[in-house]
Structure 1
Amino acid sequence: MTDALHPFDTLTPDFIIDAIEANGYLCDGSMLALNSYENRVYQVGIEGELPLIAKFYRPGRWSDQQIQEEHDFCYELVEQELPVVAPLRDGAGNSLLRCDGFRFALYPRRGGRAPEFDNFDNLLVMGRFLGRLHAIGARRPFQHRPELDSRSYGHDSVELLLRDFIPAELRPAYETLARDLLVRIDELMAQPLDLLRVHGDCHVGNVLWRDDTPNFVDFDDSRMAPAVQDIWMLLSGDRLEQTRQLAEVVDGYNEFCDFQPRELRLVEALRTLRIMHYSAWIARRWEDPAFPKAFTWFNTPRYWSEHILELREQFAALNEPPLLLM
């Protein structure tokens, strides 16, 4: 790589085609960059066959063992007939491929549309498939992939933002609020939790709805976490709407795996950690040229003011009673 600060600069079309053709495919020259920033993902045309999805991993983020563990989890789910888009293996059985210092994986293209989570029937179906996924995820722990915890998602994020990004005039307000939030989150996360292998980032963009079935993609953030991590992102609206949505998801979930209602106390804590982590994620990647282009609104006084307001709303939510099952 020519520039350690911008490792993806060498991912030219010719490089991508050479990497894929070295694995036995003949590219037809068509290529589409997909909406991915942490890694680089492309749809690449293949002569006489359906296109492939090529995912080039960000150097330094995951170890080989952590990536392989993600792949193996996907294969385990597919073997149990879960609708998961798993990476393809080469003739030697390898799914983690290499080309000139880059690690990448190839996936079949799976069509589908965005799920409608305001449809209660869809939520029931999602609950069933998540119950099946978690029943398998609970069989054994990850050995190499991390846990979702308040240290990495919360404390580390706040420390980074305070050190390098929060404007001086907003620093006292942010620091006081963030510390109060983390005290409350630490209290909630310190209580006994049942951790299992989860998708980790189960939002609408990582589910393709096809033939009344949710197809799960992008297990890049898969880790050990409480089951509710894959459930809370399906919920939206006011408290009553979320309660009704939750009832549908859990009804389907309980057909295959027992949901623990005590985990509902974690919903707003996990939401707050995601907000903190998201801002810190953009900050950590700010030297990647793709980020300033894609997130032009980031790191402005207005952004940080709105971020602080969002965290204040979360502080209020953390002090409300948790959602209850109907």
Structure 2
Amino acid sequence: MHISEPAPDSFESLDPDTILNAVEHHTGLFLDGSLTPFNSYINRVYGVTDEEGNRYVVKFYRNYRWSDEALADEHIFLNDCTNFEIPVPITLGESPVGRSGGFRFSVFPRISGRTFDIESDEDWIRSGALIGRVHAAGRLKKAPHRTLCDPEHTTGQYINRLIAEKIVHPDCLSEFSAVCTESLERAKRAYRACAGSGADWGRIHGDCHRGNILRKSDGTLTILDFDDMMTGPAIQDLWLLLPGHLEDSRRELNLMLEGYEEFCSFDRPSAELVESLRFMRQIYFLNWCALQRNDPLFAERNPGWGEKAFWIRETGDLETQLDFLA
């Protein structure tokens, strides 16, 4: 689950010495002193290298975001994927999560590869097969401390928070509230209609966009960044790869399902959740950004976030998406 209140500027004291010393103490590695920051919107992620030239990635978790139990759920899922021979990053050290100077962090071997560009029918089938393998591992256990991908239990709470904490600009509040209320009701209705047996719910990646799938030098595919893993319907990990709205992407979805169903069952009616999930992701992202709005780095990267013009655009995007919700 989420930890409720953000710590202000929680990475302020995370300096190079703190990072390098934490990695060495946790893993027993001897590092060469180099440190490469990587783009990460919510955590802090760095590349480090040991004295033998082996490269690693260290991820420092934002303090308020996940409880210790929720982080454990992530690493249990990664371990289960490894047991299914799925090439996912596995942590170094005696425990998956280390602690140093008030920070929690994990260290992984760095995986090299190129973003997997889905260009052919075979590529669509391969991407579906990879996700099917991940979901087969995901259905082995539960993740009780993770987000539930459900409009009533998550999206509704995010909307209420954005409104109650006066994050939405007051001049846009009426329109924002109206479109969210109607969209949320339609999403709930879609969930009720497409629930089926619920058999395809389980632990999922949660943020399975193209940037998180790599093609390694040997041609194999790997999937990265389980930071947003959650419990939800299988379609959540498929729709982000589609080239457009569901009505224009059924061919690509069917190709993915051809690969997916070689490894995992899929509840076909749940494909109709795609546009509801798109709306839910819009709200999730707004809430996610709101949690970081007082972080100086976030403000630097997102000038104008939260201003009236921003909320006019966001409300317009939500109104456009409403047209795709049955």
Normalising to structure 1: TM-score of the pair?
Answer: 0.91
Aligned match of 1:134: 135
What is the CA-CA distance between 1:165 and the residue it aligns to?
Answer: 2.3
SS at match of 1:29: coil
Aligned match of 1:172: 174
Matching of residues 1-150 of structure 1 within 5 Å? 4-23=7-26, 24-88=28-92, 90=93, 93-150=94-151
The answer to which of 140-149 and 219-228 deviates more is: 140-149
Aligned match of 1:285: 292
SS at match of 2:11: helix
Q: Distance in 2 between matches of 1:30 and 1:153?
A: 40
Closer/same/farther in 2, CA of residues 230 and 170 from structure 1, 3 Å limit: same
What is the CA-CA distance between 1:34 and the residue it aligns to?
Answer: 0.9
Aligned match of 1:254: 261
Tell me the percent identity.
33
What is the CA-CA distance between 1:30 and the residue it aligns to?
Answer: 1.3
Q: Distance in 2 between matches of 1:146 and 1:178?
A: 20
Q: Distance in 2 between matches of 1:64 and 1:289?
A: 25
Aligned match of 1:312: 319
What is the CA-CA distance between 1:49 and the residue it aligns to?
Answer: 3.0
**Of the candidates 193, 197, 222, which is equivalent to residue 203 of structure 2?**
197
CA contact 1:53–1:109 (8 Å) conserved in 2? yes
CA contact 1:153–1:276 (8 Å) conserved in 2? no
CA contact 2:18–2:101 (8 Å) conserved in 1? no
Q: Distance in 2 between matches of 1:271 and 1:204?
A: 16
Aligned match of 1:323: none
Q: Distance in 1 between matches of 2:145 and 2:291?
A: 22
What is the CA-CA distance between 1:99 and the residue it aligns to?
Answer: 0.8
CA contact 2:7–2:64 (8 Å) conserved in 1? no
Matched letter for residue 248 of structure 1? L
Matched letter for residue 61 of structure 2? Y
SS at match of 1:143: coil
CA contact 2:31–2:48 (8 Å) conserved in 1? yes
What is the CA-CA distance between 1:83 and the residue it aligns to?
Answer: 1.5
Render the CA deviation track for 1:2-52: whole Å, top value 9, x for unaligned. Answer: x94111111111110111121312221211111112111111122113121
Closer/same/farther in 2, CA of residues 156 and 239 from structure 1, 3 Å limit: closer
Render the CA deviation track for 1:247-301: whole Å, top value 9, x for unaligned. Answer: 1101111111122111112111111000011011111111111110111242232
CA contact 1:153–1:274 (8 Å) conserved in 2? no
Matched letter for residue 79 of structure 1? N
Q: Distance in 2 between matches of 1:240 and 1:222?
A: 27
SS at match of 1:8: coil
What is the CA-CA distance between 1:217 and the residue it aligns to?
Answer: 0.9
Uncovered stretches (5+) of structure 2, i.e. residues with no partner: 1-5
Uncovered stretches (5+) of structure 1, i.e. residues with no partner: 320-326
The answer to which of 121-130 and 135-144 deviates more is: 135-144
SS at match of 1:107: strand
Q: Distance in 1 between matches of 2:31 and 2:313?
A: 45
| Cα RMSD after superposing both structures | 1.8
Q: Distance in 1 between matches of 2:64 and 2:7?
A: 11
Q: Distance in 2 between matches of 1:216 and 1:71?
A: 14
**Of the candidates 229, 246, 250, which is equivalent to residue 236 of structure 2?**
229
The answer to which of 123-132 and 206-215 deviates more is: 206-215
Q: Distance in 2 between matches of 1:268 and 1:36?
A: 27
Matched letter for residue 213 of structure 1? T
What is the CA-CA distance between 1:313 and the residue it aligns to?
Answer: 1.5
